[in-house]
Chains A and B, each alone.
Chain A
């Protein structure tokens, strides 16, 4: 991934260390305290540009890496420590906020029913209806740019959970991910379809190309998946999170496609959305009953974690949607510093 610009003390330290600007040791020595201070003093970690960017970069060392950063940094104990400190605070911040209803029985059908209830009830403004009917061309581009930070590596965070599951839940997760990765055809990978959409709109499809204009809450949404995916303790949450993504996708993608059609964009440009309408109608059944339900049946203790992961996904992505729609309602860009706006 292209190196982003720092947004404060912590991200500056992290980027300085991994990209070898100056001697690493003094910066490494100073990192734990800097992280502590930032975590304690932030008004809201989910909207903190510096901390979310730092966390995003630390996680990215486990994915595509960062230009100029040696692969040796991936498991550096000080960096892992910093990552753990920020992610623990983020988890606590979200746990404070999400309330789970009465727990259903630890049975597949009951878990699926609860997940359908949660995803069916999710309130808040509807991005998909707005995109379908009202969004301007510029807003469609912003919508894609905001999405690009995850969609260009779509499915990767949840893939980390595969070796931590067994039996029915594992088979279900693999079945979903195989489809996400194009069923053996690279051009059909969902990330590749998304890249094609970006190119059709003359946007840059390089991973991280728009990172500098991506707001903190969008990074938080992506970081949440890495937090769940990279922790065995949170494997239930990773599964609940993915289930929500699969269960809230079919209809919205139909509306997204409509919005791009309204602006005259080709079938090629819309294929990413059209593919999701069909794919996720399949995935939502597998995800809710076999993956989430199957996991809870084999590990009943994970029931609460599965629902927490689901609630966390709805909560954080809800905040992201509100921020974007508020900006648009106020006639503003939803991206950072519009002067550098790429389009």
Chain B
């Protein structure tokens, strides 16, 4: 994965995202994790890539996951609330 953001207008002729569409997006799910989709890298403080097994990931924001930084569904058990 390149991790290089698509520049607006740089690929006018191919199927690249339209200028308005970001290279990556983060969806804040109510009462749940942050879902990260698209072209991005997940790294530690030194810049080394963290183990990642899928394109779209869910990052824990309740603090209770045993798989941090990923969500493991524990937010439901602890009744985590966040809107959005």
Contacts and interface: CB of A to CB of B under 8 A. Distances in A.
Contact of A251 (B32, B54, B55, B77): B77
Contacts of A183: 53-55
B72 interface: yes
Interface in A235-292: 250-251, 254, 275, 277-282, 284-286, 289
A120 interface: yes
A255 to B, nearest CB: 11
B57 interface: yes
Contact of A278 (B35, B72, B77): B72
A281 B71 contact: yes
B59 to A, nearest CB: 10
A250 B54 contact: no
Given A250-B73, A251-B76, A277-B73, A179 B54 contact: yes
A286 B53 CA distance: 17
A141 interface: no
Contacts of B18: none
Interface in B50-73: 53-58, 66-67, 70-73
A49 to B, nearest CB: 35
B76 A279 contact: no
B58 A285 contact: yes
Contacts of A282: 35, 54, 56-58, 71
Contacts of B35: 282, 285-286
Nearest to B84: A109
A188 interface: yes
Interface string A175-207: 100110001000010000000000000000000
Contacts of A281: 33, 58, 70-73
Contacts of B56: 175, 179, 282, 286
Nearest to A282: B58
Contacts of A286: 35, 56
Nearest to B29: A285
A281 B70 CA distance: 9
A109 B54 CA distance: 25
14 contacts: A116-B76, A175-B56, A188-B53, A250-B73, A251-B74, A251-B77, A278-B67, A278-B72, A280-B73, A281-B72, A282-B57, A282-B71, A284-B73, A286-B35
Interface of A: 109, 116, 120, 175, 178-179, 183, 188, 250-251, 254, 275, 277-282, 284-286, 289
Given A175-B56, A278-B72, 6 more contacts: A116-B76, A178-B55, A179-B55, A251-B77, A254-B66, A285-B29
